[in-house]
Structure 1
Amino acid sequence: MNKDGLEFAATFDQVFVQQNGHRGHFGRNVLKGLVDGMDSFLEEKRRTPGFRSMGPVALGGFLWLDDPELAACLARFAHTCVVVSKQGRSKRDLDKLGKLQPFADSDNGMLARVFAELTDLDWREEGRAKVLGPGAPMPDVVIPPLRTIGFRRQPKKDMVPFLHTKMMLLGELWWHDEDALGGVADVIGFRPERLWVGSANATARSRHNLEFGMWLDDPHALQAAQTFLVQLMAHSEALDPDSDLFQPELLPVDFDDEAFAEYAAEYGWGAPDA
């Protein structure tokens, strides 16, 4: 029931079980199905972690997130990143952002090197891509747990394009000490296992609406969701970025070709620290 005492009847509520055993939900408080499913996944990984597990992962994309139960559940994942639409700068918006800052500052962000699409990205430096020379290490970025994307709508202006998905991808990080050719290496990967899709925003208010949501484990859906969510992370910004426009904070690094040519002329193409 909302603060005005308005509430839909329970007759709309429906839970169904799919052939794969996963649940789907229609009606009120559909977000409970998301949180319950995440809790069950955490318990499953606690009991039977995968081979060389580095812990459970939750990646999400929502219009907005403020539900306390969902935020608390995300905090229990070893690694997480949820991308939401960029918010405005009104007093109400700033109050909303302030409440989520502790979550955005927590230490269970996502390791960028897990995904090939993110391995050459690094934070902007004075508005530009970082430049690497011989001997400089490749970036090892950790993307914070809560990010934004898109354009900031200005007061009394038309709507802007915004992120409108409501999805959560659960999986597990794993590590290995050999690369694809059998050489000694420090390899980390992500295994997607479960996908939530629906209509409900990740907000406390959504619990009073009529919504739907369901869990999937179709391999094609998992892979497509992973690709989409990784792109969200790659193009994301901080919780309250300065720019009103779409201006990702991560950029592919540039290489100092002249410095590399000079190094090669003097030392050959061996490793810079050889």
Structure 2
Amino acid sequence: MNEAGPEFPATFDQEFVRQDGHHGYFGRNVLKGLVDGMEGFLEEKRRTPGLRSMGPVALGAFLWFDDQELASCLARFAHTCVVVSKQGRSKRDLEKLSKLKPFADGENGILAGAFAELTGLDWRENDRAKVLGPGSPMPDPVIPPLRTIGFRRQPKGDMVPFLHTKIMLLGEMWWHDEDALGGVADVVGFRPERLWVGSANATYRSRSSLEFGMWLDDPQALEAAQTFLVQLMAHSEALDPDSDLFQPELLPVDFDDEAFAEYVSEYGWGDPDA
């Protein structure tokens, strides 16, 4: 015990280096290992960006997020999205949410077009999927830096399923001016490079708890984490959505079959913009 309150002794703190050179941590302030690794990654990309780089990317998933040092670090990534479990609407919950609004409103969100799983999704309109007709451009939404997912627990209500992971995937966005068939096109993609896994939430309070975390670059782990995180983004909602239920804001677009049939009967299968 100290003047600031109860505190675990430093004897629990350990830092280790894996055979691949990446670091891991046990004990207090494990979140420092996450932030230090992210800062190091940003410096690497500043010195040696990848081919046709669009900048470093950070994708995260946590039960909750309020650590300002981590938020400041994320703000320096060219593209980022952190998904957290949907929060309640008590006075305390709303105060927590308001502190994160500047980060959620940032302009360094994720380009949906970089991920095949997000292709063809767009924001719902009037609680329905958006309908496209001949000449309508395919959607290319930008997913904001902070999203929520899941169910909102009611005061004194039963527990609900919630997002409980504590992971951060770092990588790089890239661009190309040719599609897979060699045609001229604007193509963007994502290359995963480093994964943080652990027990610590992205919260300031986690810094005083006994936690665990480490960095990985195993290809299978990177691929699986990317798939999981992209699915979280695809099924996510705004920071403080109206619905208490699991109600993703992105939906696969619908096509106006009747309008397309009328167009084809009149113009054939040509380009509607020609």
Partner of 2:269: 269
Instruction: Figure out how many residues of one structure are paired with residues of the other and give that number.
Output: 274
Written as runs of structure 1 = structure 2, the 5 A alignment for 1:1-274 is 5-274=5-274
Q: Deviations over 1:166-195 (max 9, x none)?
A: 000000000011111111111101000000
What is the distance in 2 between the residues matched to 1:2 and 1:269? Answer: 76
Query: Does structure 2 retain, via aligned residues, the 8 Å contact 1:170–1:194?
Result: yes
What is the distance in 2 between the residues matched to 1:4 and 1:191? Answer: 43
What secondary structure does 2:49 align onto? coil
Deviation at 1:273, TM superposition (A): 1.1
Query: Does structure 2 retain, via aligned residues, the 8 Å contact 1:166–1:197?
Result: yes
One-letter amino acid of the structure 1 residue matched with residue 117 of structure 2: E
Q: Deviations over 1:72-110 (max 9, x none)?
A: 000000000000000000000000000000000010000
| Unaligned ranges ≥5, structure 2 | none
Q: Deviations over 1:221-269 (max 9, x none)?
A: 0000000000000000000000000000000000000100110111111
Change (3 A) 1:21 1:125: same
Change (3 A) 1:2 1:155: farther
**Which stretches of structure 1, 4 residues or longer, exceed 6 Å deviation after superposition?**
none
Deviation at 1:155, TM superposition (A): 0.3
What is the distance in 2 between the residues matched to 1:39 and 1:74? Answer: 9
What secondary structure does 2:147 align onto? strand
Change (3 A) 1:3 1:85: farther
Change (3 A) 1:3 1:99: farther
What is the distance in 1 between the residues matched to 2:115 and 2:265? Answer: 34
One-letter amino acid of the structure 2 residue matched with residue 121 of structure 1: L
What is the distance in 2 between the residues matched to 1:147 and 1:179? Answer: 30
What is the distance in 1 between the residues matched to 2:127 and 2:180? Answer: 36
Identity over aligned pairs, percent: 85
One-letter amino acid of the structure 2 residue matched with residue 213 of structure 1: G
One-letter amino acid of the structure 2 residue matched with residue 94 of structure 1: L
What is the distance in 1 between the residues matched to 2:140 and 2:43? Answer: 30
Q: Deviations over 1:27-75 (max 9, x none)?
A: 0000000000000000000000000000000000000000010000000
RMSD (Å) for aligned C-alpha atoms: 1.0
Deviation at 1:4, TM superposition (A): 5.1
One-letter amino acid of the structure 1 residue matched with residue 142 of structure 2: V
What is the distance in 1 between the residues matched to 2:273 and 2:52? Answer: 31
What secondary structure does 1:96 align onto? helix
Query: Does structure 2 retain, via aligned residues, the 8 Å contact 1:170–1:192?
Result: yes
TM-score by length of 1: 0.99
One-letter amino acid of the structure 1 residue matched with residue 245 of structure 2: L
Deviation at 1:2, TM superposition (A): 8.6
Query: Does structure 2 retain, via aligned residues, the 8 Å contact 1:62–1:83?
Result: yes
Query: Does structure 2 retain, via aligned residues, the 8 Å contact 1:2–1:208?
Result: no
| Unaligned ranges ≥5, structure 1 | none
TM-score by length of 2: 0.99
What is the distance in 1 between the residues matched to 2:251 and 2:181? Answer: 29
Change (3 A) 1:126 1:161: same
Deviation at 1:3, TM superposition (A): 7.7
Change (3 A) 1:101 1:2: farther
What is the distance in 1 between the residues matched to 2:119 and 2:167? Answer: 24
